[in-house]
């Protein structure tokens, strides 16, 4: 990963890829041992995400924004379009290969009985080519072992934009602030891009 201009040094290269598939990439220079170990031993979740359509938004009628957390197979749900009037949808984060989730809504008292419209979309990242899983699930000790290679936002003395030579690893797997969330992918991407604008261009 990374490339060299014909007439000069290698161009900066932010590389966006889930941490585990990075183990299959052949790098042209050595990586720090902590980073190599992190990539080789990282684990991605087997979550599925389902977005289910409803004819109405009854959860709002009971003063709920649709957010719920659970220690069951249906791990979380939230209102997919909180500003949309009329028809609505809930997004579900479901553990493993669980396919039944609607029956787990009743204890949450969101009042969704009879309001489903049959429209839904879902994905299981572990079954998608090139992903091998969903979000990063850090093991004990992994965060502190590689936090010097993670992106951190904040005040100038708190910001961390780790480039290795000309290479930066971006994606939620490499966000110190938001690993495991899509915000981590967005954060590392714009921080790497801003670094290139400030330091290179």
Concatenated DSSP letters of the chain: --EE-TTSSEEPEEEE--TGGGGG---SSPPPHHHHHHHHH--B---EEEEEEESS-HHHHTT--S-EE-SSSEEEEEES-TT--SSEEEEEEE-TT----GGGSGGGT---TT-EEEEEEEEEGGGSTTTSSSSB-PPTTHHHHHGGGSBB-SSTTT-B---BTTEEEESGGGBTTTTTSHHHHHHHHHHHHHHHHHHT-
Mean pLDDT of the region 163-178:
88
Is residue 123 predicted with pLDDT exceeding 60?
A: yes
117 and 158 part of one domain: no
34 and 52 part of one domain: no
pLDDT tens digits, residue range 39-83? 888 888 888 888 888 888 888 887 678 888 877 777 888 899 888
For residue 156, is it within any domain?
Answer: yes
pLDDT band at 178 (very low <50, low <70, confident <90, very high): very high
Is residue 173 predicted with pLDDT exceeding 80?
A: yes
For residue 8, is it within any domain?
Answer: no
52 and 106 part of one domain: yes
Q: Domain ends where: 92, 107, 127?
A: 127
53 and 79 part of one domain: yes
Residue 177 sits in which domain range?
A: 13-44+135-199
Q: Taking all residues of the chain, what is their mean pLDDT, rounded to a whole number?
A: 79
Return the pLDDT at 177: 94
Return the pLDDT at 104: 55
29 and 76 part of one domain: no
- The total domain count for the chain is 2
pLDDT band at 4 (very low <50, low <70, confident <90, very high): very low
For residue 1, is it within any domain?
Answer: no
For residue 2, is it within any domain?
Answer: no
22 and 88 part of one domain: no
Is residue 3 predicted with pLDDT exceeding 70?
A: no
For residue 144, is it within any domain?
Answer: yes
Return the pLDDT at 175: 93
Q: Domain ends where: 127, 156, 186?
A: 127
Q: Domain ends where: 82, 105, 127?
A: 127
Mean pLDDT of the region 84-102:
74
Q: What percent of the chain has pLDDT over 70?
A: 81
């Amino acid at each position: 990963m990374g490339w060299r201009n014909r007439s000069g040094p290698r161009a900066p290269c932010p590389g966006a890829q889930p941490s585990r598939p990075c183990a299959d990439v052949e790098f042209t220079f050595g990586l720090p041992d902590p980073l190599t170990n992190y990539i080789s031993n990282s684990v991605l979740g087997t979550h599925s995400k389902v977005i289910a359509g409803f004819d109405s938004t009854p959860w709002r009628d009971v003063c709920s924004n649709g957010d719920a957390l659970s220690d069951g197979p249906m791990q979380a749900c939230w209102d997919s379009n909180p500003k949309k009037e009329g028809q609505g949808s809930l997004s579900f984060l479901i553990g493993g290969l669980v396919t039944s989730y609607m029956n787990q809504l009743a204890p949450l008292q969101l009042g969704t009985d009879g309001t489903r419209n049959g429209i839904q979309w879902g994905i299981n990242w572990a079954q998608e080519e090139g992903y091998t899983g969903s979000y990063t699930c850090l093991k004990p000790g992994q965060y502190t072992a590689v936090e010097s290679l993670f992106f951190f936002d904040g005040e100038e003395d708190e910001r961390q934009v780790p480039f290795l030579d000309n290479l930066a690893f971006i994606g939620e797997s490499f966000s110190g602030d938001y690993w495991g969330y899509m915000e981590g992918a967005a954060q590392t991407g714009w921080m790497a891009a801003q670094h290139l604008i400030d330091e290179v261009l």
